[in-house]
Amino acid sequence: MLRFLLVTYLLSYCGLAICEDLLEQDEVYDDTSLLAEESLLLSDEFELGEDSHERPGSSSAMLIDIFSVSVTRELAYGRHVEQSNIGMRLELDTPLWSGAYARIDYEVTHFFSPENLSRDYGESYTNRELNEAWLQVSFSDCVAKLGRQTLFWGRVEGANALDVISPVDFTKPLLTDFSDIRLSSEMALFRCYQNDLTAELFYQEDALLNRFSHFESELERIARSGMGDEWGGRLSLAKQAFDLSLSYARLYANHFSILIDKNTFQSTPYSQRYELYGLSLGINQGSIMYELDLAYKTNQLSSVYALSGRPENLENRLEIALGFEYLSAANHQVNAGVWRFKSLEQDTNRTIYNEIWNVSWSKEYFNDVLGLSVLGAWSTVSELFVLNLASEYDFNDYVQLSLALSYASKSGSNDPVYPDSKLSSTFKIEAQF
């Protein structure tokens, strides 16, 4: 009850503060570097020059900057204690030589019972996760990045029109940032730059599925065994007023379907291979960035269950995502987007658009000591509504307290992530050294 009251107080303060700030006159920003900085952030990469990590200072100070160790304690309450875990995370960021940089992010978490992410409900276990482990080398006007990493395509956050390279990890909480729930994979990524143009190629030998549990089920194992490599490329043009990119990739669906043999009626989990053609556009208008993602996908399975050898089970699909990002003079950051998709086959009854909406707000207070955020999402496909209210408070440079209140309402059939309507709260304390 105490944690619930704390969250309620913080959110009430948030409402009063935002009303006061929005009464101020918003300034229109005319920073010529805004688009370039935002493109760098959205790329999910940190492009390094040859001297990016050459800094003066003692070796001991550099050693402290290289390592980061954090310890967390997390509790999630719904109708009962749904999650209880303690974890330790090691992050290493270091330059190796001129033009070379390496990063490792390793996490060990022990989940206490009861725990709905375990193989057997109520069984405690320890999960070891290598989130990132990559080497980046710069040479001439190009950058090569090899190892375990994630890749974001597109402009609209939370839309799966183009952001399908890295699957979704539903074992992690989604509060305000969709990049927090991307699943990393072994990948080779190459980028080259020429004036305003950027050429990008990626390759990964083993495609992955969306993850719902820390233990792979037998159906997921069979489906993944039939998946192969994924590869693609993107050409981007960045200007002061806009950025434009064209992309192509050969991918596997991030979720599996059940393929039924029409002769023997045996069922097999299966992930469909398809081609992706994409266009992404961002237009900078002062403090507002308008965003568009357009995708054409071939050979999309029209149902979770499909008969083998039936061409009507496959369809070509057009997907569009529209969104915007707004930063006010008082540093209120607002993001919103809608993702729509439809079948292009005229002989089906799936000609109407299905939609997924999302909107988020965030702001830092008291010199970035307190952070408040709101995230809402609605899907017309599964009739799922999700609302997350989150707050983060930095006691000092080492200890951070997080409180979150989440509500999910699901209509229709069973869902592996949100099985029914529920209200839950999450408490997390993190100490970083």
Cα 371 from Cα 364, distance rounded (Å): 4
Q: Residue 347 pLDDT more than 90?
A: no
Looking at residue 182, its pLDDT comes to 92
**Does domain 2-49+139-393+405-424 fall into CATH 2.40.160?**
yes
Looking at residue 132, its pLDDT comes to 96
Residues 390-426 as b/e (b if ≥16 CB within 10 A, e otherwise) read: bbbbbeeeeebebbbbbebebeeeeeeebeeeeeebb
DSSP string, 100-138: EEEEEEEEEEEEPSS-TTSSSTT--EEEEEEEEEEEEEE
Looking at residue 15, its pLDDT comes to 43
% of the chain exceeding 90 in pLDDT: 40
Q: Residue 66 pLDDT more than 90?
A: no
Q: Residue 273 pLDDT more than 60?
A: yes
% of the chain exceeding 70 in pLDDT: 73
128 exposure class (CB count in 10 Å sphere: 0-12, 13-18, 19+):
exposed
Q: Residue 351 pLDDT more than 70?
A: no
Q: Lowest-confidence range among 122-126, 215-219, 301-305, 392-396?
A: 301-305
For range 273-282, the mean pLDDT? 96
Q: Residue 196 pLDDT more than 50?
A: yes
Cα 18 from Cα 22, distance rounded (Å): 6
Looking at residue 214, its pLDDT comes to 86
Residue from 371, 433, 432, 379 nearest 409 by CA: 379
Residue 394, token pair as written in the block: 């930095």
Domain boundaries, the chain: 2-49+139-393+405-424
Looking at residue 296, its pLDDT comes to 95
Highest mean pLDDT among 37-41, 228-232, 259-263: 228-232
Tell which wins on pLDDT, 177 or 414: 177
Q: The whole model's pTM is what? A: 0.78
Q: Residue 411 pLDDT more than 90?
A: no
Q: Residue 11 pLDDT more than 90?
A: no
Tell which wins on pLDDT, 425 or 352: 425
Return the DSSP state at 178: G
Looking at residue 163, its pLDDT comes to 92
User: Starting from the edge strand earliest in sequence, which strands make up the sheet with 267-270, in order?
Assistant: 267-270, 257-260, 305-307
Q: Residue 10 pLDDT more than 80?
A: no
Looking at residue 426, its pLDDT comes to 85
